[in-house]
Structure 1
Amino acid sequence: MTASPAPLNAPHFIGIGGAGMSGLAKILALRGAQVSGSDAKESTVVLALRQLGAEVHIGHAAEHVPAGASAIVVSSAIREDNPEIAEARRRGLPIVHRSDALAALMEGRRALAVAGTHGKTTTTSMLAVSLTALGLDPSFAIGGDLNEPGSNAHHGTGEIFVAEADESDRSFQKYTPEVAIVLNVELDHHANYASMDEIYESFEAFADRIVPGGALVVDVDHAGAAELASRVAGRAFDIVTVGEAEGADFRIVKIAPRGMTSEVTLALPTGDELTFTVNVPGRHYAHNAVAALAAGVRLGVPAAELAPALSSYQGVRRRLQLKGESAGVQVIDSYAHHPTEIAADLQAIREAAGEGRVVVVFQPHLFSRTRELGLEMGQALALADQVVVLDIYPAREDPIPGITSEIVIEAARAAGTDVQGAHSLAAVPEIVAGMSKPGDLVLTMGAGDVTFLGPEILSRLDTLA
């Protein structure tokens, strides 16, 4: 696979509708490139790219690669037997990984890269929104949409480029940020990492890419991030710490829940205190906001200006996104799929629910993740009052014999949760509507197509109202 610099004046993206790929395609189109691509299905993202002038085909075929294509851009999810990759090789076209393309786009900008096992999309989004609100017009590339399809990327006129840095396939080691954030470090992505030692080595390699004199922002309340900070101490960049721990450079003094928001009081390195609102509930989102603030300050944005600008952040699609309310029941969508994320979102929703119950529709994501973390997923789901567990969403993986969602169901049941399985998405709206009561909060949770159930649940609740 060719690393940049490769000619990106006429790139062809395989899987152009994906969260990360579509953002790069959008930025290149806005920079004047002749963008083409293919995707498995039509979507609002594909439509938005076509409106920018991209030529997008549905399905994968050799003839979809234009005669004038300068390079083929792929992600780690694209299989080697894809016919468009075969065509590119036949024609001798450079095959560029998504991370190399993103690295090329960041060249000449003050890059800020956000990494961590959880919270990357939210924190990157917070920075994109707040810096934009301050008139700095940053470029950004995010692994999710800011509430509207196609809002995952922007080609700005400012000097800052904010990017989500993905550790899942080690591709974040391609970037050279001025400031990097590491929110947390945990074992995940079991197809690519066999141990925590491998995870730490990968994050260390990412940190070593920080430009000399730059900064690494770490949340020291998370053991893995604190361990990383100790491993890279004394290198050619500064370490800036955030968290509730005593001695943190940006120390969180108080997080006060306010329904579906939080009020955060922060002690700055100067000794001053400031208070601002985070418009997403939960302690982990407050930590994300403080990490974003610390990184922005390191880039020269005054904390007194950045804090209120962070309050303009209204959320990301699928990150505790309110889908609607019917019959006194609120339906919220959550992307959480790792046990730590599941527990964090459920704790946040539990606070917001008050006297209401929390009902979860959970879809395990990936056979490999369920094999390694299915027990912990079920234990995390014990924070809910009632749970419906769907079959595993395979994404890019083939089934693993003996690995099913029953692993999660049995663990949740052993933890004392009222849980049942559902093998069909179509059956879920009826199940959930039958168990929900006014005042309840219903979460559709997981990284797969469980997200499409929210409107269907609301529709079924409407018929019962």
Structure 2
Amino acid sequence: MRLEDYRYIYFLGIGGIGMSAIARWFHAKGFPVWGYDKTRTPLTEALEQEGIQVHYEDDVNQLPQEIRTDKAATLVVLTPAIPAEHTEWAYLREQGYTIKKRSEVLGIITASAYTIAVAGTHGKTTTSSIVTHLLHHAGVDCSAFLGGIATNLNSNLLIGKGDAGRELVVVEADEYDRSFLTLFPDIAIVTSADPDHLDIYGDKEEMIRGFQQFISQIKPGGYLILQDSTDPSLTDKVQQGVRVIRYSLEQGDARVQHVEIDGHRFSFNAETPLGNIAHLRLGLPGFHNVENALAALVVGQILEIPAAALAAGIESFRGVKRRFEIVYEGEGKVFIDDYAHHPKEISAFMNSLRAIYPDKKLKVIFQPHLFTRTRDFADEFAESLSKADELVLLDIYPAREKPIAGVTSQMILERVSGPEKYLLRKEEMLQNLRENPDFEVLATVGAGDIDTLVKPIKIFLENN
């Protein structure tokens, strides 16, 4: 299909971080864009302010007149989070509209571009944002579709000028629903391949096969930048002529040396097969983010960006919203918000917190995301969360799932070995902070709607 064959674009689930980036892209290209989402959020409000009409009721009568009267000229973009019984989706299916998943549309947009795709069960949003910033900061014309709001851009979308002929695009390659199999990148980063989304894949082996297929789609002459500790079978189907560069903090073809922590800033040297870069200073905290930056630096080297420009880009990178975001600091307390929702992510986050704030009392508020993930990784969640001095567990955020009998936050709580642990509802959280103010470092962690607590907690800390 060709995008130029369509005049109107309609999004089912426009408020998702990936969906909203594509909606903004179509809007910037001059297409009339509309969308539905079940919840009004700051992101949907931003889309409305930019001129995109959004409604929040699942009602066919809410469909714009243009969509209902010109089926042939309408492209419907669908997120997998929309339930099968959704009324508007059922109507659009029955009427024979062209309906494409978000991943399919992203594949079409990038089909003729030089594509840098960042995959991995965790780390891909930060890594793709660093890649984008390094290119943009160095004056390389590029577009980017990101899974988070990059602080430097204040957006999840960057649109290049396209003046140099073939467009260069940075995208997140999402493994959920096998979405990344619509992409055929020139450069691929795989940050991790830990078991996740087993509701889709069934088991770890099938998920690995999905990653193998994604890696097999790297174009001949391209590059695979692979985190060194991932399953070695990931490269079994890599095409001949694709160069593989393994990376990690301590081993692989690319590694770092002399990591030092200075407050929230991490300093290090990078050693890669494409050249060494000394005295790098990353303002984004966390050992895992040093590793993410290393992968991004290799991309910059492949694209022949000078070392000095890469170093300047690393130092000026300001992070991604909800990725180790320091929300408040003062009066002997620090408040950090993070999107971590997989046990490996939480473990990396907690290890970095302990390194930056040794001997501080750490209180963590965690909202589990998905019943299946909670069921499959209850032991691993408990192990990573036991590193907190005080743990508050909120109810599971269901997202696209129906409840599973017996699967609740209690499954994690009863396995946690930390000294203080309890269950609360979101509505009880501020009162809890008033009654238990003896923490020094506070962290909200999770991928659901726990972010709605961030602003109230920040205001509470500022006023108390």
TM-score of the two chains, using structure 2 as the length reference: 0.92
* Compared CA separation, residues 8 and 21, structure 1 to 2 (3 A): farther
Shift of 1:357: 1.4
Q: Which residue of 2 aligns with 1:33?
A: 31
* Compared CA separation, residues 279 and 363, structure 1 to 2 (3 A): same
Matched residue of 2:447: which SS? coil
* Compared CA separation, residues 455 and 273, structure 1 to 2 (3 A): closer
Q: Which residue of 2 aligns with 1:258?
A: 262
Determine whether 1:145 maps to 2:153: no
1:190-235 per-residue CA deviation (whole Å, 9 max, x = no partner) reads 2101212111110011111111111111011x233x4423x23563
Q: Separation in 2 of the partners of 1:282 and 1:63? A: 48
Q: Which residue of 2 aligns with 1:232?
A: 237
* Compared CA separation, residues 211 and 5, structure 1 to 2 (3 A): farther
In structure 1, give the amino acid aligned to 2:309: E
In structure 1, give the amino acid aligned to 2:375: R
Shift of 1:271: 5.3
Shift of 1:272: 3.5
1:276-321 per-residue CA deviation (whole Å, 9 max, x = no partner) reads 1122211111000000111222233234422321222111111111
* Compared CA separation, residues 234 and 34, structure 1 to 2 (3 A): closer
Q: Which residue of the other structure, out of 394, 400, 403, is the alignment partner of 1:396?
A: 400
Shift of 1:144: 1.0
Q: Which residue of 2 aligns with 1:167?
A: 175
Equivalent pair of 1:433/1:457 in contact (CA under 8 Å): no
Query: Any gaps of 5 or more consecutive residues in structure 1?
Result: none
Shift of 1:87: 2.2
Matched residue of 1:187: which SS? coil
* Compared CA separation, residues 9 and 90, structure 1 to 2 (3 A): same
Q: Separation in 2 of the partners of 1:114 and 1:233? A: 16
Determine whether 1:419 maps to 2:402: no
* Compared CA separation, residues 288 and 280, structure 1 to 2 (3 A): same
Q: Which residue of 2 aligns with 1:205?
A: 213
Q: Which residue of 2 aligns with 1:453?
A: 453
Q: Separation in 2 of the partners of 1:205 and 1:367? A: 28
Shift of 1:183: 0.6
In structure 2, give the amino acid aligned to 1:448: G
Q: Separation in 2 of the partners of 1:52 and 1:416? A: 46
Query: Any gaps of 5 or more consecutive residues in structure 2?
Result: 68-73
Equivalent pair of 1:26/1:154 in contact (CA under 8 Å): no
Equivalent pair of 2:397/2:448 in contact (CA under 8 Å): yes
Equivalent pair of 2:256/2:269 in contact (CA under 8 Å): yes
Matched residue of 1:324: which SS? strand
Q: Which residue of 1 aligns with 2:70?
A: none
Determine whether 1:277 maps to 2:281: yes
Q: Which residue of 2 aligns with 1:12?
A: 10
Q: Which residue of the other structure, out of 61, 81, 92, is the alignment partner of 2:59?
A: 61
Shift of 1:269: 1.7
Equivalent pair of 2:138/2:305 in contact (CA under 8 Å): no
Shift of 1:148: 8.3
1:23-51 per-residue CA deviation (whole Å, 9 max, x = no partner) reads 00001111111111111132332233233
Shift of 1:362: 0.7
Q: Separation in 2 of the partners of 1:289 and 1:368? A: 31
Q: Which residue of 1 aligns with 2:49?
A: 51
TM-score of the two chains, using structure 1 as the length reference: 0.92
Matched residue of 2:81: which SS? coil
In structure 2, give the amino acid aligned to 1:244: L
Matched residue of 1:253: which SS? strand
* Compared CA separation, residues 153 and 55, structure 1 to 2 (3 A): same
In structure 2, give the amino acid aligned to 1:375: D
Equivalent pair of 1:116/1:183 in contact (CA under 8 Å): yes
Q: Separation in 2 of the partners of 1:8 and 1:280? A: 41
1:396-419 per-residue CA deviation (whole Å, 9 max, x = no partner) reads 11100001101111111xx24421
Shift of 1:330: 1.3
Q: Which residue of the other structure, out of 381, 385, 388, is the alignment partner of 1:377?
A: 381
Map 1:216-227 onto structure 2 (within 5 A).
Answer: 216-220=224-228, 222-224=229-231, 226-227=232-233
* Compared CA separation, residues 290 and 462, structure 1 to 2 (3 A): closer
Shift of 1:122: 0.5
Equivalent pair of 1:21/1:98 in contact (CA under 8 Å): yes
Q: Separation in 1 of the partners of 2:434 and 2:25? A: 42
* Compared CA separation, residues 28 and 267, structure 1 to 2 (3 A): same
Q: Separation in 2 of the partners of 1:420 and 1:402? A: 18
Matched residue of 1:191: which SS? helix
In structure 2, give the amino acid aligned to 1:436: P
Q: Separation in 2 of the partners of 1:24 and 1:197? A: 31
Q: Separation in 2 of the partners of 1:274 and 1:228? A: 31
Shift of 1:156: 1.2
Determine whether 1:103 maps to 2:104: no
Equivalent pair of 1:30/1:52 in contact (CA under 8 Å): no
Matched residue of 1:79: which SS? coil
Matched residue of 2:97: which SS? coil
Determine whether 1:443 maps to 2:443: yes
Equivalent pair of 1:180/1:295 in contact (CA under 8 Å): no
1:112-140 per-residue CA deviation (whole Å, 9 max, x = no partner) reads 00000100110111112221111223211
Matched residue of 1:206: which SS? helix
- Tell me how many residue pairs correspond in the alignment: 454
Q: Separation in 2 of the partners of 1:103 and 1:343? A: 33
Q: Separation in 2 of the partners of 1:16 and 1:271? A: 42
Equivalent pair of 2:220/2:242 in contact (CA under 8 Å): yes
1:133-168 per-residue CA deviation (whole Å, 9 max, x = no partner) reads 112232111111124896001221143210011001
Moved more, 233-242 or 35-44: 233-242
Q: Separation in 2 of the partners of 1:163 and 1:397? A: 26
In structure 1, give the amino acid aligned to 2:348: A
Q: Separation in 2 of the partners of 1:211 and 1:234? A: 8
- What percentage of residue pairs aligned between the two structures are identical? 34
Q: Separation in 2 of the partners of 1:385 and 1:160? A: 46
Q: Separation in 2 of the partners of 1:396 and 1:49? A: 22
Q: Separation in 1 of the partners of 2:105 and 2:6? A: 8
* Compared CA separation, residues 252 and 307, structure 1 to 2 (3 A): same
Q: Which residue of 1 aligns with 2:71?
A: none
